[in-house]
């Protein structure tokens, strides 16, 4: 006598549990997933780190070249050769400085993008509260902004650590 009602109760219970699990599970495989975007951003940061490392290595080599010309000057007394080396080193260092500015400019660009994302998130949250939407709806609308903000903050932190090491 209790068998049929219990089967119906458990059937509906499992149906609701399955629908809850389905609604919360993210089974998408796309290029917009958070892990894929994080991987791409990490690769960009690594490429920038390698670029800065290569530029700094070339700067150090140029500095060594300048020091060698000073040693040669003290040994041989050839002022013209030292001046020629200085001129070539100056042009090399100016070029390397321009190349080194690109990661710094990248940090500035990412910071501006981060500011825009934060303002967009702020506007979205304020609009949602003005419309008296529920917490879940607000979270859904802000989630994409928050992912991008988190990723940008991580990129900026990584780039700032890189610049600090320089």
Q: Parse the chain into domains and list their residue ranges.
A: 35-107, 135-165
| pLDDT value for 74 | 64
CA–CA gap between residue 38 and residue 106 (Å, rounded): 17
| pLDDT value for 75 | 77
CA dist 153 → 103, 113, 160 (Å): 15, 10, 10
- What pLDDT tens digit does each residue of the chain (166 aa) get? 788 999 999 999 999 999 998 888 766 666 666 677 777 877 887 887 787 778 777 877 877 777 777 767 667 877 788 778 878 878 887 887 777 666 567 766 776 777 677 677 766 766 776 777 777 777 787 787 778 877 877 877 777 776 655 4
CA–CA gap between residue 41 and residue 31 (Å, rounded): 12
Q: Name the pTM for this structure.
A: 0.44
């Amino acid at each position: 006598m209790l068998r049929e009602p219990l089967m119906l109760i458990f059937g509906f219970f499992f149906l609701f549990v399955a629908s809850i699990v389905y609604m919360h599970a993210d089974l998408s495989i796309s290029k917009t997933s958070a892990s894929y975007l994080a991987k791409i951003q990490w690769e960009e940061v690594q490429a920038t780190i390698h670029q800065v490392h290569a530029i700094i290595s070339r700067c150090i080599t140029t500095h060594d070249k300048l020091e060698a010309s000073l040693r040669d000057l003290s040994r041989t007394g050839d002022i013209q050769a030292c001046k020629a080396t200085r001129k070539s080193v100056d042009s090399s260092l100016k070029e390397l400085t321009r190349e080194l500015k690109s990661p710094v400019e990248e940090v500035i660009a990412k910071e501006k993008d981060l500011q825009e994302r934060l303002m967009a998130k702020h506007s979205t949250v304020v609009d949602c509260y003005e419309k008296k939407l529920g917490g879940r709806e607000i979270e859904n609308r802000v989630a994409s902004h928050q992912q991008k903000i988190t990723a940008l903050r991580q990129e900026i932190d990584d780039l700032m650590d890189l610049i600090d090491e320089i």
